[in-house]
């Protein structure tokens, strides 16, 4: 139900995959920036990197769920079109 609502809102699997890859890049960037900009040490930088890096699996999972939903939706649409075509050709014949 949540995946359907997200899909209806315009979110597609490609968007979620892009967000996951961006999260990986942001994780590395936040680690590097924290190491250079803060004097708190490597522990703080690790925490920032891990915090942002934890978003990636969520986005990848959402992308997989959306891809599966999109696949089912397109299969259902093709099946409906096929049944309408079959019905019309049988009525015409």
Domain borders along the chain are 14-92
pLDDT tier for residue 85 given thresholds of 50, 70 and 90: low
Angle, CA 23 vertex, CA 20 and CA 26 arms, to 5°: 160
pLDDT computed for residue 78 by the predictor:
56
CA 22, 28, 34, 40 torsion-angle sign: positive
12 vs 43, residue with greater confidence? 12
Mean pLDDT, all residues of the chain: 82
pTM of the model: 0.69
Query: What would the pLDDT profile of 4-38 be if each residue is shown by its tens digit?
Result: 999 999 999 999 999 999 999 998 888 888 777 77
pLDDT band at 91 (very low <50, low <70, confident <90, very high): low
């Amino acid at each position: 139900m949540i995946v359907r609502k997200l899909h209806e809102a315009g979110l597609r699997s490609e968007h979620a995959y892009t967000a996951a890859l961006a999260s990986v890049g942001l994780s590395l960037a936040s680690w590097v920036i924290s190491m250079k900009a803060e004097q708190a040490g490597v522990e703080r930088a690790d925490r920032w990197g891990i915090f942002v890096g934890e978003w990636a699996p969520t986005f990848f999972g959402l992308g997989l769920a959306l891809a599966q939903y999109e696949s089912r939706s397109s299969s259902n649409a093709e099946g409906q079109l096929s049944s309408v075509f079959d019905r019309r050709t049988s009525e015409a014949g």
